[in-house]
């Protein structure tokens, strides 16, 4: 069993005399509408503010800005998230998940019936499951990720994969946790997530990962993906390498035609890493080189 972190020990000690532990209500979004792509279904989690303030982002900003409110005030269950960012986030449930009885869906409150009063914060750009796993990490110092791979989303995860136990402690996507840790500046958690992503490189669709929007937003992850792809292309047998280069060509063509606007940095980096690769088709190098010539130099 994981031990308590120092912030949690302090919070538990305070709660012995105060009688209060969960003094912060957090509203997050849980589902992606398959038709419109909008992020919907706000639900609530409850946390200890002392533990949250161990993360400077919350101590200096979110909690400091929040006025105490009555926890019994209902949430607007029809509200949509604003500026979610990564709408492909696999920690969001899809509409199909709601009727998939084979999946484990943690028992989050559909409405807020908790009593008490405290800080109320709304988070528009992190999935409910991701944040719950983050809270458990703050409490225990431990996190376990769902198996990683481009073709694995929440709908394909079994009950055993999604949760650690019958109590439904979630296993989040390492990419979702990396994005959270990057935003909230939690380096130890960020390293754990990056290591988990690295351990799944052989199982993912590496070309897709190099050129997707997620990689365009995270330089460290993009560099890792591109370096791995360049290595695979170097050691792959000729037929396998040619198949991968066909996929790369398609991505570069889409970028040049204006249908993959976020892929400039990935294309430039891959060109730099592949210039000496004898398996690289001349047309690919020429296309990538033309992109590189107009791109800002990468450090």
Q: What is the dihedral of CA 210, 84, 176, 99, to 10 degrees?
A: -110
Q: Which pLDDT value is given to residue 149? A: 57
**Greater pLDDT, 169 or 89:** 89
- Give the lowest-confidence range in 77-91, 128-142, 170-184: 77-91
Helices 282-294 and 264-274, axial angle in degrees (round to 10): 130
Q: Which pLDDT value is given to residue 172? A: 93
Q: Of 46, 222, 212, whose CA–CA distance to 117 is shortest? A: 46
* Position 289 confidence tier, pLDDT thresholds 50, 70, 90: low
Whether the pLDDT of residue 154 is over 80: the answer is: no
The 3-state secondary structure of the chain reads CCCCCHHHHHHHHHHHHHCCCCCEEEEEEEEECCCCCCEEEEEEEEECHHHHCCCHHHHHHHHHHCCEEECCCCCCCCCCCCCCCCCCCCCCEEHHHHHCCCCCCCCCECCCCCCCEEEEEEEEEEEHHHHHHHHHHHHHCCCCCCCCCCCCCHHHCCHHHHECCCCCCECCCHHHHHHHHHHHCCHHHHHHHHHHHHHCHHHCCHHHHHHCHHHHHCHHHHHHHHHHHHHHHHHCCHHHHHHHHHHHHHHHHHHHCCCCHHHHHHHHHHHHHHCCCCCCCHHHHHHHHHHHHHCCCCC
**Greater pLDDT, 202 or 42:** 42
237-244 average pLDDT score? 81
Helices 128-140 and 174-184, axial angle in degrees (round to 10): 70
Whether the pLDDT of residue 17 is over 80: the answer is: no
Q: What are phi and psi of 142, to 5 degrees?
A: -125, 145
pTM of the model: 0.82
* Position 276 confidence tier, pLDDT thresholds 50, 70, 90: low
% of the chain beyond a pLDDT of 70:
75
Whether the pLDDT of residue 101 is over 60: the answer is: no
Q: What are phi and psi of 80, to 5 degrees?
A: -105, 150
**Most confidently predicted of 3-17, 61-75, 171-185:** 171-185
* Position 290 confidence tier, pLDDT thresholds 50, 70, 90: low
Any residues with CB less than 8 A from the CB of 33 and at least 6 apart, and which? 39, 40, 95
Tokens in use for 214? 């997620």
Whether the pLDDT of residue 297 is over 90: the answer is: no
């Amino acid at each position: 069993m994981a031990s308590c972190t120092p912030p949690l020990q302090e919070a538990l000690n305070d709660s012995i005399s105060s009688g209060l532990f969960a003094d912060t209500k957090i509203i997050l979004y849980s589902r992606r509408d398959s038709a419109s792509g909008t992020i919907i279904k706000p639900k609530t989690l409850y946390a200890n503010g002392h533990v949250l303030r161990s993360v400077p982002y919350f101590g200096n900003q979110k909690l400091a800005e929040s006025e105490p409110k009555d926890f019994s005030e209902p949430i607007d269950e029809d509200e949509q998230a604003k500026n979610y960012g990564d709408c492909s986030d696999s920690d969001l449930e899809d509409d199909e998940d709601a009727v998939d009885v084979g999946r484990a869906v943690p028992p989050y409150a559909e409405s807020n019936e908790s009593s008490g009063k405290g800080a109320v914060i709304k988070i528009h750009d992190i999935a409910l499951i991701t944040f719950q796993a983050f809270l458990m990490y703050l409490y225990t110092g431990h996190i376990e990720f769902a198996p990683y791979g481009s073709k694995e989303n929440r709908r394909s995860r079994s009950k055993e994969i999604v949760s650690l136990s019958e109590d439904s402690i979630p296993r989040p996507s390492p990419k979702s946790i990396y994005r959270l840790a990057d935003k909230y500046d939690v380096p130890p958690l960020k390293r754990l997530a990056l290591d988990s992503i690295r351990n799944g490189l052989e199982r993912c669709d590496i070309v897709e990962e190099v050129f997707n929007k997620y990689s365009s937003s995270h330089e460290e992850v993009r560099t890792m993906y591109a370096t791995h792809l360049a290595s695979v292309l170097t050691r792959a047998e000729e037929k396998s390498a040619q198949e991968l280069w066909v996929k790369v060509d398609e991505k570069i063509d889409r970028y040049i035609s204006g249908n993959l606007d976020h892929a400039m940095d990935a294309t430039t980096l891959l060109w730099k890493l592949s210039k000496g690769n004898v398996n690289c088709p001349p047309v690919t190098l020429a296309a990538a080189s033309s992109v590189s010539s107009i791109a800002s130099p990468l450090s």
